């Protein structure tokens, strides 16, 4: 039976349908609000706005729950699936059987190389070019080389081809962006390596010296990709959907997603955390002093890697990464003072009333950078790795949107606060 909420506008009462998700999340359907009342909803930052319904990822921020297609994130840590298996699950909605996964891996393997003409694009970038700028441009450039994928398709065949191509080439592009900045010669992927191992090879091998991939480091890399794979309607995913809603192609939509992820309040936070920890270390600033600075509204300092729009509890990904960080550093016999500082900051923040009252906990970016740094990933590549991880989510959400009948172009409204009607003043009459 349909349920309704009543909205009393003084001169008029209307009924708003209540919609309910499979985990009992409730929403008010206001799609007829303006046509029936002349009012719009006002929600800057969209903290109270559901832009779509989705069956991909579930988060309960109050309880610190994250599930991909219903499977708790902790199980991905325990079972250690390959990143491509997780990508398959997110994009196609089911865990692949062995044949399906093997076939998908072959497709990804067949797409590893970049067109030679695409490789020349890298030479046009200065060595100081931010890798995120290169990544977003090159994802869009890919559309020039695959006109057959510009027609938007939601069927399984289209998505197999497009997703395997994007997942494969983003890895090669990311590694080439790094190599370009270091003046390193390009190198070819090794088809026998799994996704994460191949990425490490593409980053660090030299033509005359192959990088030996340590299985524990490969596991950590795989885990980082998986933990970032989707996070429902975050800023970059909403951007992908926003661009996709104009019926733009998958490359354009994902390229826009990379740009949205770049900012320090979103994916760029992993880089900002390390910069912050380095400054704290250099300045020998105590955890208590940092907490005071973060609380001071006149001080622009923020505790990067802390707080989240949705989580009002410990981010489950941060919990997993904290443990993984200890393991990686022990394996590599690295004693990173930044990890000690991070742990002290966390301890001080979690007992400070400011952080407790606002429910600010470490998020995914707080510990991921320490692991990537230990592996030898340069800081300006951190958000690029986040992008690789997030790509399956973007593709899955784009596909879900394309498959949904009757999706409208995303076009929010505004409350106009500018000048009322006035006349144009010719230049000669202006003061
Ligand atoms: N340090 C100090 N104070 C904070 C922090 C922080 N990191 N985060 C939030 N607050 C305060 C904020 O000042 C506000 O205080 P008040 O109520 O007195 O005005 C209150 O907590 C609520 O914060 P908000 O900014 O209104 O919350 P939001 O949902 O708009 O922003 C956030 C969420 C993640 C942008 C924010 O917590 C933040 O800037 N954190 C640091 C950057 C970061 O780590 N980003 C990564 C997010 S997780 C991964 C991802 O999405 O990519």
264-273 burial code (b ≥16 CB/10 A, e <16):
bebbbbbbbb
Report residue 26: phi and psi, to 5°: -115, 145
Query: Each residue of 390-406: pLDDT tens digit?
Result: 999 999 999 999 999 99
Query: Each residue of 118-150: pLDDT tens digit?
Result: 988 988 999 899 999 999 999 999 999 999 999
82 a catalytic residue: no
Give 353-396 as a DSSP string.
HHHHHTT--B-THHHHHHHHHHHT--GGGHHHHHHHHHHHHHHH
Query: What's the pLDDT score for residue 273?
Result: 97
Q: Which residues contact 132 (CB under 8 A, 6 or more apart)?
A: 258, 259, 261, 262, 268, 383, 384, 387
Residues 131, 207: Cα–Cα separation, whole Å: 22
| Nearest CA owner, ligand 1 atom 28 | 309
| Nearest CA owner, ligand 1 atom 51 | 266
Which tokens hold the place of 275?
């910069």
365 a catalytic residue: yes
What is the 308 CA–ligand 1 centroid distance (Å)? 6
Q: How confident is the model at residue 330 (pLDDT cuts 50, 70, 90)?
A: very high
Query: What's the pLDDT score for residue 1?
Result: 62
Protein residues whose CB sits closer than 6 Å to any atom of ligand 1: 45, 234, 265-267, 269, 294, 302-309, 358, 360, 363-365
What is the 360 CA–ligand 1 centroid distance (Å)? 8
**Averaged over 245-263, what is the pLDDT?**
97
DSSP lists the bridge partners of residue 66 as 59
Q: What is the best residue among 307, 382, 385 to mutate for testing ligand 1's pocket, by most ligand atoms within 8 Å of CB?
A: 307
Residues 328, 338: Cα–Cα separation, whole Å: 14
Query: What's the pLDDT score for residue 181?
Result: 86
User: What does the angle CA 395 – CA 384 – CA 156 come to, to the nearest 5 degrees?
Assistant: 15
Q: How confident is the model at residue 155 (pLDDT cuts 50, 70, 90)?
A: confident
Which tokens hold the place of 217?
């480091």
* Chain mean position to CA 409: 22
Instruction: Yes or no: say if 237 and 393 are a contact pair by the CB < 8 Å rule.
Output: yes
- Strand 13-20 with 3-8, pairing: antiparallel
Query: What's the pLDDT score for residue 399?
Result: 96
| Nearest CA owner, ligand 1 atom 29 | 309
Instruction: Yes or no: say if 64 and 316 are a contact pair by the CB < 8 Å rule.
Output: yes
What is the 173 CA–ligand 1 centroid distance (Å)? 31
Q: Ligand 1, residue 310: give the atom nearest the CA.
A: 29
Instruction: Yes or no: say if 369 and 382 are a contact pair by the CB < 8 Å rule.
Output: yes
Integer CA distances (angstroms), 4 to 9, 38, 356, 385, in order = 16, 19, 36, 44
Place of tokens 């938007």: 152
What is the 280 CA–ligand 1 centroid distance (Å)? 20
**Portion of the chain with pLDDT greater than 70, in percent:** 100
Instruction: Yes or no: say if 156 and 91 are a contact pair by the CB < 8 Å rule.
Output: no
Query: What's the pLDDT score for residue 2?
Result: 75
| Nearest CA owner, ligand 1 atom 35 | 265
Query: Each residue of 216-253: pLDDT tens digit?
Result: 999 999 999 999 999 999 999 999 999 999 999 999 99
Report residue 405: phi and psi, to 5°: -70, 145
Nearest to 381 by CA among 276, 226, 268: 268
Q: Which residues contact 2 (CB under 8 A, 6 or more apart)?
A: 17, 18
Query: Each residue of 364-374: pLDDT tens digit?
Result: 999 999 999 99
Q: How confident is the model at residue 152 (pLDDT cuts 50, 70, 90)?
A: confident
Provide the 10 A C-beta neighbour count for residue 371. Answer: 26
Q: Model's pTM, two decimal places? A: 0.96
Largest CA distance in the chain: 79
Nearest to 274 by CA among 362, 341, 347: 341
Nearest to 178 by CA among 220, 138, 233: 138
Which tokens hold the place of 73?
């994130």
Query: Each residue of 268-290: pLDDT tens digit?
Result: 999 999 999 999 999 999 999 99
Residues 291, 287: Cα–Cα separation, whole Å: 6
Q: Which residues contact 362 (CB under 8 A, 6 or more apart)?
A: 305, 306, 314, 315, 318, 322, 346
Q: How confident is the model at residue 331 (pLDDT cuts 50, 70, 90)?
A: very high
Query: Each residue of 75-90: pLDDT tens digit?
Result: 999 999 999 999 999 9
List 146, 308, 315, 336, catalytic entry: 308
What is the 213 CA–ligand 1 centroid distance (Å)? 37
The answer to whether residue 313 scores a pLDDT higher than 80 is yes
Lowest mean pLDDT among 65-74, 150-159, 374-383: 150-159
**Portion of the chain with pLDDT greater than 90, in percent:** 94
**Averaged over 333-344, what is the pLDDT?**
94
State the average pLDDT for the chain: 96
Lowest mean pLDDT among 187-191, 242-246, 334-338: 187-191
């Amino acid at each position: 039976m349909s349920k309704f909420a009543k909205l009393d506008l003084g001169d008029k009462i209307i009924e708003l349908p209540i919609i309910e998700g499979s985990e009992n999340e409730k929403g008010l359907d206001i799609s007829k609000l303006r046509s029936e009342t002349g009012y719009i909803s006002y929600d800057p930052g969209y903290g109270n706005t559901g832009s779509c319904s989705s069956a991909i990822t579930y988060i309960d921020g109050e309880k610190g729950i994250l599930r991909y297609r219903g499977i708790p994130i902790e199980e991905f840590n325990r079972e250690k699936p390959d990143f491509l298996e997780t990508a398959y699950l997110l994009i196609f909605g089911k865990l692949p059987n062995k044949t399906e996964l093997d076939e998908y891996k072959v497709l990804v393997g067949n797409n590893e190389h970049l067109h030679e003409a695409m490789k020349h694009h890298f030479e046009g970038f200065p060595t100081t070019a931010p890798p995120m700028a290169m990544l977003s441009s090159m994802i869009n450039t890919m559309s020039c080389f695959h006109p057959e994928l510009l027609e938007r398709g939601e069927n399984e065949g289209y998505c197999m081809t497009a997703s395997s191509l994007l997942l494969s080439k983003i890895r090669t592009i990311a590694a080439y962006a790094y190599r370009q900045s270091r003046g390193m010669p390009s190198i070819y992927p090794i088809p026998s390596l799994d996704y994460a191992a191949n990425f490490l090879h593409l980053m660090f091998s030299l033509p005359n010296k192959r990088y030996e991939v340590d299985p524990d480091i490969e596991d950590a890399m795989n885990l980082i990709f998986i933990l970032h794979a989707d996070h429902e309607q975050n800023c970059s995913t909403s951007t992908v959907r926003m661009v996709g809603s104009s019926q733009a192609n998958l490359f354009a939509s994902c390229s826009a997603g990379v740009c949205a992820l770049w900012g320090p309040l979103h994916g760029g936070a992993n880089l900002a955390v390390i910069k912050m920890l380095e400054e704290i270390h250099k300045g020998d600033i105590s955890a208590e002093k940092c907490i005071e600075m973060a609380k001071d509204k006149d001080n622009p300092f923020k505790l990067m890697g802390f707080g989240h729009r949705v989580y009002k509890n410990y981010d489950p990904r941060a919990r997993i990464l904290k443990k993984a960080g200890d393991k990686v550093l022990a394996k590599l016999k690295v004693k990173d003072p930044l990890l000690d500082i991070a742990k002290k900051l966390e301890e001080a923040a979690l007992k400070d009333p400011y952080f407790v009252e606002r429910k600010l906990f470490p998020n995914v970016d707080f510990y991921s950078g320490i692991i990537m740094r230990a592996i030898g990933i340069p800081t300006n590549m951190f958000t690029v790795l986040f992008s690789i991880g997030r790509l399956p989510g973007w593709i899955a959400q784009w596909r879900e949107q394309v498959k949904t009948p009757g999706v409208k172009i995303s076009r929010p409204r505004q409350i106009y606060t500018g000048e009322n009607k006035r006349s144009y003043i010719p230049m000669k009459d202006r003061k």
